[in-house]
Amino acid sequence: MDKQGYISPEQGRLEISVIRDAQPRVEMTLDLGIPNFTVFSLKMPLAEDDPRAMSGLVAEAVNAMCDEASAFMLSLEYPEEVIVQLYATVLAAFKNMVNTGEGQPDAGTDDTVKTFTASFSLPQSFVNETRKKVVTAAGKDIRRTPKMRHLELTYAKPGKPSVNDTAKVIRQYRGRTVKNQPRPLFIVVYDVGGKAIGTIPVDSNFKNNLLRATRRAALDFTPAVSFANEQQMRSTQVNGIPKAISVGGFTYLPEAVAGPDMALYHGPQDWLVKFPDGRTEVFPGRPGIRSLRRLNFPVPLHRFNWTTLPRDVEIPQEAGIGEKE
């Protein structure tokens, strides 16, 4: 007897509310009078700037809510003809919706919330199947105030941009505009002495190419020189940075540079420094830039430390370190 206590309502109800507040949205409900699953609900954001496109989206949302109701009936094995009949009934009611605010005096109207409702007669076949699939299966526990099947379509709001975000966008834009030109751009590279050493393209490998070009500029050596003894070496001016300096039968190879005209050479037992004014001097230990400046050697003020040469520096083969010529 409890199972037969279920009385289906004669009419179903479709309601659409358009809410224009701090979070504009559209809320829909579809009540088919089904126990335990009476109300189907959907909520989505409202685009107030384009009402014509929004009305089309509302129609799509009604179809989405009908799909949800159809999925529920399919899960309970409702006949397909019953599902199709109910689907068509809801869509027909949507086309004949009425604004519940119409006919009210202007003083009582509120544009913040507008509600449209439509009532429609439930097909008898749907009521009969509901009694078989839902009421009988539910047993004695029949509730007319059930939980709600709810769909909520939301979007992630863009965060408030920070100074770092703005700087990142600007830097990305600048990089793209330079590198994505229809014709490649080239940069002329100069060494520290102001001499042009070539061009490199502005592409994704620009930094590496620039480092290689700078390294090539630092390795622009002059031909090797040879002296019979240290006295002859001190009385002769040497230009540039020779590939090797031979003194008294010993060969000194470049180890580090300090500009385009000053270099440190390593010999078998001591070191040799070639200064910007062409002078060369032998030192028993490895001299530093500061110690050379304290000893009043001609070191420019803007030279601070030695730049060690890479291992792939070109080493002359005519004489080895520590070998007599």
Q: What is the pLDDT of residues 61-73, one digit of tens each?
A: 888 888 888 888 8
134 shares a domain with 41: yes
In this structure, is residue 78 part of a structural domain?
A: yes
pLDDT-derived band at 113 (thresholds 50, 70, 90) equals confident
Domain enclosing residue 205, as ranges: 163-218
297 shares a domain with 234: yes
Count the domains in the chain.
3
248 shares a domain with 201: no
pLDDT at 255: 87
Do 168 and 176 meet the contact criterion of CB atoms below 8 Å apart? no
Average pLDDT, integer, range 80-88:
91
- Tokens linked to 44: 């989505």
Strand runs (DSSP E) across the chain, as ranges? 11-19, 25-31, 39-45, 98-99, 113-121, 149-152, 186-190, 196-201, 225-227, 245-247, 250-257, 263-266, 271-274, 280-283, 307-308
Residue 146 has pLDDT above 50, yes or no: no
In this structure, is residue 187 part of a structural domain?
A: yes
In this structure, is residue 120 part of a structural domain?
A: yes
Residue 47 has pLDDT above 50, yes or no: yes
Could you say which of 133, 152, 171 is where a domain stops?
A: 152
137 shares a domain with 54: yes
172 shares a domain with 113: no
Residue 216 has pLDDT above 80, yes or no: no
Residue 157 has pLDDT above 60, yes or no: yes
pLDDT at 166: 64
If one compares 98 and 321, the residue with the highest pLDDT of the two is 98
42 shares a domain with 9: yes
123 shares a domain with 23: yes
If one compares 97 and 103, the residue with the highest pLDDT of the two is 97
124 shares a domain with 26: yes
Do 16 and 60 meet the contact criterion of CB atoms below 8 Å apart? no
